[in-house]
Amino acid sequence: METWRDLERDLEDMREYYRHGKTKEASWRKSQLKGLLTLLKEKEGDIFKALKQDLGKHHVEAFRDEIGTLTKTVNTALESLKDWMSSKTAKLPRIALQTSAEIVPEPLGLVLIISSWNFPFGLSLEPMIGALAAGNTVVLKPSELAPACASLLANAISTYLDNKAVKVIQGGPSVGEQLLQQRWDKIFFTGSAHVGRIVMSAAVKHLTPVTLELGGKCPAVLDSLSSSWDMKVELMKNIIKEMFGENPKESHSIARIINKQHLLRLKNLLKDPHVDASIVYGGSVDEDNLFIEPTILVDPPLQAAIMTDEVFGPLLPIITLEKIEDSVQFINSRPKALAIYCFTKNKTLQRMMISETSSGSVTFNDTIIQYAADTLPFGGVGESGFGRYHGKFSFDTFSHEKAITRRSFLTDLWFRFPPWNNYKLQLLESAFNYDYLGLVLVILGLKRHRQRSAGI
Amino acid sequence: MVSVEKEMKVFDLEAASSMVKELRDEFLSGKTRSYEWRVTQLKNIIKMSEDREQDIVKALHSDLGKPEFESSIYEISMLKNACTLAIKKLKQWMKPEKVKTSLTSFPSSAEIVSEPLGVVLVISPWNYPFLLSIEPVVGAIAAGNAVVLKPSEIAPATSSLLAKLVGEYLDNSLIRVVEGAVAETSALLEQKWDKIFYTGNSRIGRIVMAAAAKHLTPVLLELGGKCPAVVDSSTNLKVAARRIVAGKWGCNNGQTCVAVDYILTTKDVALKLVDALKHELEGFYGKNQLESKDRSRIVNSNHFARLTKLLDEDKVSGKIVHGGERDKANLKIAPTILLDVPRDSLIMNEEIFGPLLPIFTVEKVENSFDVINSGTKPLAAYLFSDNKKLKEQFVMAVSAGGLLINDTIIHLTVDALPFGGVQESGMGAYHGKFSFDAFSHKKAVLYRSFAGDAPVRYPPYTNGKLKFMKALMSGSILGVICALFGWSKN
């Protein structure tokens, strides 16, 4: 347990280490990324165990969603690092004689990553990969609601990465509060909108830029395709049985609810008699084993909490509409979500979805998979957050794009300088319009400027 | 004498809230989505700037004593350029960007679609009240947003002219100006915006960000800082001096966020530099520099008092080597140079934003970088040098919004470069396409086909599926084949 003074001293040490410039070197960044790769390989078994313990997550799911995607991300970062770190030339107009301009990415400095409990490795390390690739020193605060994972992260990171530059600080809300009081060069937060507001408010003190990856109610719009909705519900029931067997609780392929508090929250969503009446499948809750079976509801009341709050659990309400196009209005009358899914072959509906709704992302004919696409920015808009990451976007999110312009002494647009007169004004106007012919004409005295009153 | 006045309604929370609702409803009607609407507004901004150039110049002169030429070039021409570029490139900017997809989502196609954020608020400062009001608005419009502009009350003639011009030339159902001071700004900040763009000082920047946090509104803050100019002995002092004078007194009399705030140099160069500066100052402003009409005045008596306080501090008395004269009635301070000011003087610790130029001397020119880094990161940093190694060191060691070598200010005019700060000098950037991006949400769109559904993704989970997935993630075709046949690659 760190005391306030210890924390401040540790952070100052990390800033000092950053100032020495080690983390800016490409070789250091590569070594950290390779360290993560080794961590993921060697600690795979322990990671599976920790996820099983905290979330009841099956190890294949853990691989698919956490280790596998992280490995892919580290490999992409290693391959692309040189390119990401390189400066980009900025094109200049011809009048900028003997001038060159470029954009150089530089690390922000000391960054804070706060991650959530649902993908405790993925959501901790995915941003960290970007932060390290960008040359920053990093403090990670993993969620205390997944304690085995948090503790494994702390141990593993101190073993595989540079301790002077990367630290894991464990703890609950009070530790989080302490950390938010410190001065950071960036805060990357994944979690709820409620805590997101707290994080951004705390960041005001030091004008720290933040990225907030929040949530929301992500809808899946299901077009009629080939069957009616009740046939689709039957289909879903069958698929659930296929995936999880007759008794999902016995199947090890389905995760548990994280803790009692969330289980009760979810149980409460079903309490309303009208909501309860709309359950067509599942609905059983095993409090002792933190298990809720896959549950489908059809047309629960729209004002019920299950339709106003983010579910974040195994309950799936289905809302039926007259026309599928009505889903656009339905979605737009609610806060913007992190993702919209739409299952349709109808190109018009697809276009409507993209241009008439707003969300972090839109995925057609699948779910979740956009998370694995490195070339797509992953982030929210409105209530679902702001900022983005994945692939190069992670690198950029933890970088400052520094603009660098170099001039020569030899050439000067002499008409830049006072004392002012109309002649210089004409030249400047032509220059600003990149009107090279105009410039020449003015110099040759062949262009008359429209009259200006100098009645000042 | 009959004065006709419209009944002034107080712009309070209710007024602000209903205005935002109106704009949001209009935005949701989809009007701003069209290329035509956006281009029409941008063209009208150019028309407005050309038709009413004289009114704008007059207003700027009234508010700041700004010379016509600075107004025409640094405000109006720069704004027109921003519009022209946006009009030229808008189609391109609006097009979705196709991106590659990988084996993990095969088969699929993907693109990034730029969409407007919605209803945005632009709060602008008093020093370039025309340019810094309309340039962000240009970005907001290009990106298809509805926008409210709140210009600074410290430049009242320009604020009122902007309200009039926007009312006459632009689409009022989606673009509005709200004039006022603290009360009106607070009412605006209470509302839920899709983005807030603020140019000004870091104290108000914090207030803006805190208000935005309540609604999870992203912000772009263009703040300031002490922008240093390092002068090396290898430099051409005459040209350097000329460019420094242009980048200080020639830009709104030093009241510019990227003006040269102070100079860092070695003792031997300092004296020669002072002479060169004096020479250039006389060339620019003649012998009576205090009263010269070619410089803006100090904006108001508050700032005049603030600046004279910096000059009158005991620590810097006796350090003035040029200028120092003031004319309180006309809010004028002569171009003033101070030499060898102490590190802990007020003038070396506050952003000056005025016509005072302190020179701080260091033992070796490389020590300048430590001095710069010991303060907060500025919006810009300048270096005058011919020494290749020093230039590279400067670029590596100094962190600022932007760096410019061998000149001042002009990097702002390069619209291919992002203009913005870092840390205390701000967050976010704009100019050129960066303006369009600043007011857009980049929406990721992924199209999957119904064919090619890989059962390995789905439960029940088995080790065979795990092997296949590992191979798939690693992108190794051989691995995938092996896994398909149930062989291990090891």
Flag if B99 and A61 touch (Cβ within 8 Å).
Answer: no
Flag if B209 and A412 touch (Cβ within 8 Å).
Answer: no
Any idea which of A20-24, A431-435, B282-286 has the lowest mean pLDDT?
Answer: A431-435
Identify residue B447 by its one-letter amino acid code: Y
pLDDT for residue A142 is more than 90: yes
Closest A-chain CA to B470: A68
Please indicate whether residue B392 or residue B470 has the higher confidence score (pLDDT).
B392
Q: What tokens does B286 get?
A: 């003649």
Angle at B132 between CA B126 and CA B136, to 5 degrees: 145
A431 SS3 class: helix
Average of pLDDT values for B184-189? Answer: 97
CB pairs under 8 A between A and B: 283
B153 part of the active site:
no
Instruction: Compute the distance between CA of residue B306 and CA of residue B300 in angstroms, rounded to an integer.
Output: 10
**Torsion angles phi and psi, residue A294, rounded to 5:** -55, 125
Angle at A441 between CA A438 and CA A445, to 5 degrees: 135
Interface test with B, best of A74, A180, A242, A381 (most B CBs within 10 A): A381
Q: By C-alpha distance, which of A217, A201, A208, A310 is closest to A265?
A: A310
B308 CB-side CA count, 13 A:
13
Is B461 near chain A, with CB under 8 Å?
A: yes
Chain B residues with CB under 8 Å of A196 CB are: 216
The pLDDT, as a whole number, for residue A419 is 74
Q: Which residue among the candidates B75, B251, B257, B280 is catalytic per the annotation?
A: B257
Instruction: Compute the distance between CA of residue A92 and CA of residue B336 in angstroms, rounded to an integer.
Output: 35
Distance from CA of B307 to the nearest CA of A (A): 24
Flag if B444 and A376 touch (Cβ within 8 Å).
Answer: yes
Average of pLDDT values for B129-134? Answer: 98
Q: What share of chain A has pLDDT > 70, as a percent? A: 95
Q: Judged by CB atoms within 8 Å, which residues 76-135 of A form the interface with B?
A: 90-92, 96, 101, 103-104, 106, 108-109
Tens digit of each residue's pLDDT (9 = 90 or more) over A372-398: 888 999 999 999 999 999 999 999 999
What residues contact residue B102 under an 8 Å CB cut-off, 6+ apart? A372, A373, A374, A375, B475
Chain B residues with CB under 8 Å of A378 CB are: 444
Nearest to A60 among B406, B414, B462 (CB): B462
Q: What tokens does A160 get?
A: 């595989």
Angle at B201 between CA B196 and CA B204, to 5 degrees: 60
- Terminal-to-terminal C-alpha distance of chain B: 98
Closest A-chain CA to B409: A405
Flag if A406 and B391 touch (Cβ within 8 Å).
Answer: yes
Instruction: Compute the distance between CA of residue A381 and CA of residue B118 in angstroms, rounded to an integer.
Output: 10
Average of pLDDT values for A38-66? Answer: 95
- Residue showing tokens 């149930």: B486
Is A435 near chain B, with CB under 8 Å?
A: no
The pLDDT, as a whole number, for residue A437 is 75
Closest A-chain CA to B34: A355
Q: Judged by CB atoms within 8 Å, which residues 303-322 of B form the interface with A?
A: none
Nearest to A365 among B68, B283, B450 (CB): B450
Chain B residues with CB under 8 Å of A429 CB are: 72-73, 77
Instruction: Compute the distance between CA of residue A424 and CA of residue B75 in angstroms, rounded to an integer.
Output: 16
Q: By C-alpha distance, which of A342, A358, A361 is closest to A350?
A: A342
Average of pLDDT values for A273-293? Answer: 95
Closest A-chain CA to B374: A19
Element (H, E) at B65: none
B392 part of the active site:
no
Burial (CB count within 10 angstroms: exposed 0-12, middle 13-18, buried 19+), residue A303: exposed
Q: By C-alpha distance, which of B60, B79, B80, B59 is closest to B70?
A: B60
Tens digit of each residue's pLDDT (9 = 90 or more) over B364-399: 999 999 999 999 999 999 999 999 999 999 999 999
Chain B residues with CB under 8 Å of A209 CB are: 427-428
Instruction: Compute the distance between CA of residue B364 and CA of residue B343 in angstroms, rounded to an integer.
Output: 16
Instruction: Compute the distance between CA of residue B115 and CA of residue A387 in angstroms, rounded to an integer.
Output: 15
pLDDT for residue A188 is more than 80: yes
Q: Judged by CB atoms within 8 Å, which residues 256-285 of A form the interface with B?
A: none
Is A61 near chain B, with CB under 8 Å?
A: yes
DSSP tag of A389? B
Q: What pLDDT band is residue B317 in, cutting at 50, 70 and 90?
A: confident
Flag if B284 and A106 touch (Cβ within 8 Å).
Answer: no
